Amino acid sequence: MCRVRGAPVGHTAGMAVEESTCRLCGAHGTRAEVALGWSRETDRDGVVTALCAACARRHVREIECRLDP
């Protein structure tokens, strides 16, 4: 889940993300690191989850299966 300073874990509605945490391995990334290869997903409720670049590479097939055709 993404961690936003001053907001509940996982919720970013209209807020800038200062630090993200990979939902699989727990790696932490700054805004700049997240922009350079992390995968972020927002569900219907506006909850944002993130995968670090390494986990995103390992799980690319799973991610692609969830994309709209």
Encode pLDDT of 24-49 as tens digits. 999 999 988 888 889 888 888 888 88
Tell me what pLDDT residue 55 has.
93
Of 65, 57, 69, which is closest to residue 24 (Cα–Cα)? 57
3-state secondary structure the chain: CEECCCCCCCECCCCCCCEEECCCCCCEEEHHHHHCCCEEEECCCCEEEEECHHHHHHCHHHHHHCCCC
The mean per-residue pLDDT over the stretch 53-69 comes to 85
> Does domain 2-65 fall into CATH 3.30.60?
yes
Encode pLDDT of 3-28 as tens digits. 443 344 444 445 556 788 999 999 99
Domain ranges of the chain: 2-65
Higher pLDDT: 11 or 60? It is 60
Tell me what pLDDT residue 16 has.
58
